[in-house]
Every structure is written in structure tokens, then in C-alpha cells.
Amino acid sequence: MGRLAIWAGCIGVAGLALATPAPLTAEPYSWPIPAWMPPPPVPADNPMTTQKVDLGRHLFYDARLSADGTVACVSCHVQDRAFTDGREVPVGINGTFGIRNAPGLANAGYVPMLTWANPHMTSLEFQALMPLFGDNPDEMGNNGQEAALFARLAADPYYATAFPDAFPDRPAPDLFTVTRALAAFQRSLISVDSPYDRFKYWGDKDALSDAAKRGEQLFFDHRFECYHCHSGIHFTENLQTSRSAFAETGFHNTGLYNIDGAGAYPANNTGLMELTGDPADMGKFRTPSLRNVALTAPYFHDGSAATLDEVLDHYRQGGRSIATGPHAGHGATSPLRDGMIVGNSATKAEIADIIAFLESLTDTGFLTNPAYADPWPADHPAVADRVLP
């Protein structure tokens, strides 16, 4: 009961977060967060409303967002996998493989730079253009086809009222409204109710197993240094909230590759260097959040670790060794490896405890929250040809 009361109290916080007055018809959006938690920042041109979030949810699950009606956002971001797809790399239109692992969307609104390593991706609104219109690789295949895309959406009876409800001043599907609605829905995807949250923030000492409690102590221990990067409320140093004075970001080379002895990563996955051109940025990728991490395998930017055991073994060795093939090399000897990746002497029992702790970050309410679920009937044209992972 105490929790419910506090959650209800957060409606007031949401009201303050709206930078611009919402239209009279708009219902103020109520953040699904406890009162102690600040909501994510909201761009001035995209205030949260219940209508817009609901429109965004319909768009998120609508495969008509792709040129051939097969790929929806959910085709790579599935709720019960914490909005990942279980694959090393996602698959877009015409069976086109992506280049980097589909990131989970829990708490995406708190992430100041989206995707794995791109300083240009500073808002969910802007990021939505990539899957919609990107062609290297193709994801939803709409490059150059925006008129057809918006016509498909405008023809649907639901959207005929949902767009005007969400955007009274700009009531049609277009580059602005579609990206704003998708961003509003993603901003609503908040996961802060795992057993660890109940243990840590709500005082429920029985919420964690003994193994998870031991794992917590190891996770926050200098022997393992996990928390130096996986820090804060979302277990990543990449964080912005509506109370942040500034956004915090963190990118690291963890020694996954060392192809040339000088720290090279595979040519199509050089991390932050691809965008900055700074050789020192080779192999630097954004620290991902660990919330729901037990469900988001495979791991790393290229999905190259199948299990948490593999991930922790990589950190135990202080870098990954690849014996043969085009990516062969010893990550532990990379001159570009982050100084925090020092290797450790974890025992099997300790690794099992850390994994128990990581599993306690699974928020089953988030995975089953009907507010995040597919709103379309199974026989609706929005989903008739939709492919799921």
C-alpha cells in the first residue's frame, strides 16, 4: 500500500516535467515510477501525453512501418526479452542482417546517447529515423519512401483519429509526428521494480537469495570493478534524468578484440572511432544498462558472447582471446583496453553468485506490463505479415 501511494504521488512530478503546456484535450501522462525517482528528461517539442504514448505503442508494434509490411519495431525489440531479440544481430527487411546487437529499451529515456557508439544519437526522436530510413543496413526499408509510408498509416482508421488526438496542431503522420510518438512510447518504458529494487530501495530483505546478496557484494567490490562502469540507478554510467545538470556518458574498450596487436576491432565495428575519427576511440562502446540483463543474451555490441558466463569469463581474463580466423588476437594485451579491465581471480562459485545478483535485476512486471504490450488484434493488417524473432 505504501508503494502504491508513493507511485500515485509521482503524477505531480510528471506535470512539472512538461516543458510546454499540453493541449486542452491531452491527458497528462503519469510516469510509472516511484516518487524518489526523477523521470527522464522530455524534449520541449515532445511533451508526454497518454494519447501520444498510446499512439507510439501502436506504431511500435505496426509492421506497416516497414516497406513490405514484415518488420515492426517489435521484430527486434520484444517485451518478454526486455525489448531485445535474442539474436547476435537483428534482421531487417529482406532478411538483411544488422551490424550491432539490438539493445534493450528498458529506461531508454534515461540514455543520453542512443545505440552502441554514436554521439549523433542524442534523442529517441532522432534515433527513430535510423531503423525507419537507414539503408546501410536496411532495417525497415523506407529510404526514399516516406510518402508511401505516411500514406499507409494515414489510411488506417485508428490512426485517422489517433494522430489528431496526439498532435492536434499537426494531425497527420509525418517525419515529426511518427518520430515523436515512437519516442514518447519508448520514454514510457521504465523498469525499476526488480527484486533488487525491492531489496535495495523498498527494504524487503527477503527479496534476494543469499547467492544474489553475495553477488551484490562482489559486484560492488574492487576485485571485480563491475560498478565503475555499471553504476547508478540503471547500472550504467550513461544517464540523464529530468534533474540532471548535464548528461553523463561512458564508452569503453573492454578488450574484446585486438586484431593487429594495436587494438583494432573488426572494420565494421570500430565503435566511437567510426564517428569521431579519433584513433584512441577504437573499440569504445557505450556501457549498457544491466537491468533485465539475464534476458538480453547474447551480449556485447556484436552479440559475440552467448551467456553471462562467457561475459564474466571475458572480464575474468581481462580481455578475450580469439585463436583463429580474421578476428584472431589477444584482447588482454590490447594497448587500447580500458584501465578498469584488469582481470580477476573469480572462482566458479563467485561467478555463480554474481550471476545470481544479475538475475535479481529482472523486472517481471516490466516484461508483462500490459501498457507496453502489443495493442493490435491478431488479424489486423498492422500485424498480418509481421515477422517476430
Q: Which residues here bind other proteins, judged by CB under 8 A? A: 45, 118-120, 122-123, 125-126, 129-130, 132-136, 138, 142-147, 175-176, 179-180, 266-270, 274-278, 326
Structural Rg of the chain based on CA atoms: 21
Distance CA 110, CA 233 (A): 10
CB 329 → other proteins: shortest distance, Å?
Answer: 15
What is the Cα 351 distance to its own chain's centre? 25
Residue closer to other proteins (CB basis): 277 or 339: 277
Residue closer to other proteins (CB basis): 179 or 287: 179
Residue closer to other proteins (CB basis): 10 or 67: 67
Distance CA 115, CA 250 (A): 13
Distance CA 26, CA 357 (A): 41
CB 261 → other proteins: shortest distance, Å?
Answer: 17
CB 54 → other proteins: shortest distance, Å?
Answer: 20
Find, among 214, 310, 292, the residue nearest to 254 by Cα. 310
DSSP-derived secondary structure for 27-78: PBP--SS-TTSPPPP--TTS--BHHHHHHHHHHHT-GGGSTTS---GGGT-B
CB 149 → other proteins: shortest distance, Å?
Answer: 9
In 3-state terms the chain splits into helix, strand, coil percentages (rounded to 5) of 40, 5, 55
CB 71 → other proteins: shortest distance, Å?
Answer: 16
Residue closer to other proteins (CB basis): 270 or 292: 270
Residue closer to other proteins (CB basis): 32 or 283: 283
Buried b (16+ CB within 10 A) or exposed e, 260-288: eeebbbeeebbbbbeeeeeeebbbbbbbb
Is the CB of residue 314 less than 8 Å from the CB of residue 341? no
CB 90 → other proteins: shortest distance, Å?
Answer: 15
Residue closer to other proteins (CB basis): 175 or 211: 175
CB 186 → other proteins: shortest distance, Å?
Answer: 15
Residue closer to other proteins (CB basis): 79 or 334: 334
Distance CA 381, CA 152 (A): 11
Distance CA 284, CA 262 (A): 14
